A and B are shown apart, each in its own frame.
Chain A
């Protein structure tokens, strides 16, 4: 591979490269859109069934053509055959689902393998024919860009325009169908016809993409860009646009790569490129990527741990100085804090280190005692107050037995935002916590041995 070759592929100097790259790019864009709908309609496997079920149609019509005297290579006829058995397979799945107790996955598994098996058997028959003209048929299974002709491109243009036009025209109907089929029906939309139309479009895309990526891999080209796009956005419109961009890019890059590398089938390379986009999106997606979720989870754990520390410190001080209006900050032995929870030394030290860094405690984690800063005390008072309000709320308003409150509160308090606390205050006016009697202390001993009665210092 030399530079000249790379440039020739990149700038599409060669007619055949141009044809293949444009075709796969267009196919990627259409796959991206239909794949998005398919994914959200939870019909991904249906697309797989459909594509596998095209094989008996292709080979069947080829055989019929041979027996009727022509050479069986009428390309359009084969595609019609593909569409017919593909749709027949889908219909069979729906029929089995409606009239038996078998579930979707079983129905699809059966139909997919039986149709594909029938196709392979027919293919075996076709290959025994003396003409040897059946050689090209196998390219439908794995795809063979080298055998693509101008007709493929024209078909793809027509299918793309169809998909794009109908998706725009029926965008609101498809959206409703995917989100809430029952409600769609109650509004008078025929969900049956919408489903048929959607499946019809998927069939058109599948059949048009048979030459490029083949019937086994087309499902990956449909679903992968859509699934990747989902990690970046929470809006359907943006997801579909991004999905079609990722699909188009996969088609373009994949086809170019396969033109550069000898013996690399385009379909496989395209799917691998799409998979690359998927993995990247899954990790780094800004709406629901794995790293984002991991970070959010870590932040929550960090927050929970800090609140536990602050509340433990506050309650220990409170226990020592019962009855005073304003708590005075005194050093608390490390060990006394540690036994309030199932803390490991490592976890507590880490939390203390963070608190020290943020100026909430004045002592270093290695010290024997822990001393809150004035800001730390303020924060600790707020956390404790939130916690008690929440407990009170649970007792007063929710249908939850008192004995269960603590377990729930330990987790739920961290979900409790500023806003709800204010709402609670309004609701709990009758308790007048701004006067002498504050929000009542927890109805159960939170930290053993520090209840006011036991260790209260004079």
Chain B
């Protein structure tokens, strides 16, 4: 049952989260999450390790149970608007040794619309091929997925989400450990999605590129520290509150350098 009648301005929000708490075995992982995301935003979800970024996405997609709160997408519950939602899980979540081609994986994005029992047909194959082309992997369509590089595998996952033909996308660390070419391809894709009024929530770990890639930022550390336009939210004071006072950007960079040596 929709919580808001159609026509209610709230219903137009692609994503609205109210009072969300998620707990694993009695220990809350994220709590009191309140978020309202406008259409056409590129949203970075930023926070330290263990801040609950992936948990937030998974709870929104009903992949793990919520302890309390509600998540509305386009004013409705997820199960009612599934076909308008796309999901890019973390690359490590699957076994890339599986005997399928890149095109096979991307075609899986169309399964939701196909529904139970209906086999893959030429039309959805063509759509999958189009999606592969959009991420620059058309030449790799028939390659077995273990023969793709890490960046190409990531782009395959993005293409699968594109094949879902959604209005709201959840992406879990798409930029993790990808090469420069893939990073540029993903950025171009995000811009393209934004131009088409799609909304993207992206779990992101590279603080340096947040202002460059995203126009909205959610700082998360078990609770929402701040959420708003990147230029008003992505400030040192807020980052300090998210990552802890002692671990500012410079210290982080210094630590990264120290680890390398």
Stretch at the interface among B36-44, B99-107, B227-235: B99-107
Q: Are B108 and A235 in contact (CB under 8 A)?
A: no
Q: Are A172 and B98 in contact (CB under 8 A)?
A: no
Given A172-B114, A234-B144, A404-B260, does the pair A183, B99 have CB atoms closer than 8 Å? no
Given A185-B63, A186-B87, does the pair A239, B99 have CB atoms closer than 8 Å? yes
B120 to chain A minimum Cβ distance, whole angstroms, is: 6
Q: Are B100 and A236 in contact (CB under 8 A)?
A: yes
Q: Are A176 and B111 in contact (CB under 8 A)?
A: yes
Q: Are B82 and A188 in contact (CB under 8 A)?
A: yes
Given A171-B119, A397-B180, does the pair A189, B144 have CB atoms closer than 8 Å? no
Q: Which residue of A lies closest to B100 (CB)?
A: A236
Q: Are B63 and A170 in contact (CB under 8 A)?
A: no
Interface centre among B99, B117, B120, B181, by most chain A C-beta atoms within 10 angstroms, is B99
Given A171-B119, A182-B63, does the pair A187, B111 have CB atoms closer than 8 Å? yes
Q: Which residue of B lies closest to A427 (CB)?
A: B180
Chain B residue contacts of A403, Cβ below 8 A: 261
Q: How far is the CA of A230 from the CA of B100 in the complex (A)?
A: 12
Q: Which residue of B lies closest to A403 (CB)?
A: B261
Partner of A187, one of B95, B112, B180, B261: B112
Chain B residue contacts of A182, Cβ below 8 A: 63, 89, 93
Chain A residue contacts of B261, Cβ below 8 A: 401, 403
Q: Are B112 and A170 in contact (CB under 8 A)?
A: no
A259 to chain B minimum Cβ distance, whole angstroms, is: 35
* B61 interface hit (Cβ, 8 Å): yes
Q: How far is the CA of A354 from the CA of B119 in the complex (A)?
A: 53
Given A172-B119, A401-B260, does the pair A186, B61 have CB atoms closer than 8 Å? yes
Chain A residue contacts of B105, Cβ below 8 A: 179
Chain B contact residues: helix, strand, loop or mixed? mixed
Chain A residue contacts of B144, Cβ below 8 A: 234-235
Chain A residue contacts of B101, Cβ below 8 A: 234-235
Q: How far is the CA of A169 from the CA of B119 in the complex (A)?
A: 8
B24 to chain A minimum Cβ distance, whole angstroms, is: 12
* A144 interface hit (Cβ, 8 Å): no
Please encode chain B, from 144 to 161, with 1 for each CB lying within 8 Å of some chain A CB and 0 for all others.
101000000000000010
Given A234-B144, A236-B100, does the pair A183, B87 have CB atoms closer than 8 Å? yes
Chain A residue contacts of B180, Cβ below 8 A: 397-398
Given A183-B89, A188-B112, does the pair A169, B99 have CB atoms closer than 8 Å? no
Q: Are A179 and B108 in contact (CB under 8 A)?
A: yes
Given A171-B119, A186-B61, A239-B99, does the pair A180, B112 have CB atoms closer than 8 Å? no
The A-B contact count (CB < 8 A) is 79
* A340 interface hit (Cβ, 8 Å): no
8 Å CB contacts to A: which residues of B48-79?
A: 61-63, 79
Chain B residue contacts of A233, Cβ below 8 A: 99
Partner of B98, one of A171, A173, A179, A184: A179
Q: Which residue of B lies closest to A233 (CB)?
A: B99
8 Å CB contacts to B: which residues of A164-179?
A: 169-173, 175-176, 178-179
Partner of B94, one of A179, A236, A401: A179
8 Å CB contacts to A: which residues of B105-125?
A: 105, 108, 111-112, 114, 116-117, 119-120
A176 to chain B minimum Cβ distance, whole angstroms, is: 5
Chain A contact residues: helix, strand, loop or mixed? helix
* A40 interface hit (Cβ, 8 Å): yes
Q: How far is the CA of A230 from the CA of B93 in the complex (A)?
A: 22
Chain A residue contacts of B79, Cβ below 8 A: 188
Partner of A183, one of B108, B117, B119: B108
Q: Are A170 and B117 in contact (CB under 8 A)?
A: yes
Given A179-B94, A234-B144, A235-B100, does the pair A172, B120 have CB atoms closer than 8 Å? yes
Given A180-B94, A180-B108, does the pair A187, B82 have CB atoms closer than 8 Å? yes
Q: How far is the CA of A189 from the CA of B63 in the complex (A)?
A: 12
Q: Which residue of B lies closest to A398 (CB)?
A: B180
Q: Are A173 and B108 in contact (CB under 8 A)?
A: no
Chain A residue contacts of B160, Cβ below 8 A: 183
B131 to chain A minimum Cβ distance, whole angstroms, is: 15
Please encode chain B, from 217 to 260, with 1 for each CB lying within 8 Å of some chain A CB and 0 for all others.
00000000000000000000000000000000000000001001
Chain A residue contacts of B104, Cβ below 8 A: 175, 236
Given A171-B119, A172-B111, A173-B116, does the pair A186, B94 have CB atoms closer than 8 Å? no
Q: How far is the CA of A171 from the CA of B114 in the complex (A)?
A: 13
Q: How far is the CA of A231 from the CA of B98 in the complex (A)?
A: 12
Chain B residue contacts of A188, Cβ below 8 A: 79, 82, 112
Q: Which residue of B lies closest to A180 (CB)?
A: B94
Q: List 9 A-B contacts (CB under 8 A).
A: A179-B95, A180-B108, A183-B87, A183-B160, A185-B62, A186-B63, A187-B111, A236-B98, A236-B99
Q: Which 3 A-B pairs have the closest CB atoms?
A: A187-B112, A234-B144, A186-B87
List residues of A whose CB falls within 8 A of some B CB.
40, 42, 169-173, 175-176, 178-180, 182-189, 230, 233-236, 239, 397-398, 400-401, 403-404, 423
List residues of B whose CB falls within 8 A of some A CB.
61-63, 79, 82, 85, 87, 89, 93-95, 98-101, 104-105, 108, 111-112, 114, 116-117, 119-120, 144, 146, 160, 180-181, 257, 260-261
Given contacts A185-B63, A188-B82, A404-B260, 17 further A-B contacts (CB under 8 A): A175-B100, A176-B111, A179-B94, A179-B98, A180-B94, A180-B108, A182-B93, A183-B87, A186-B62, A186-B89, A187-B111, A235-B101, A236-B99, A236-B100, A236-B104, A397-B180, A403-B261
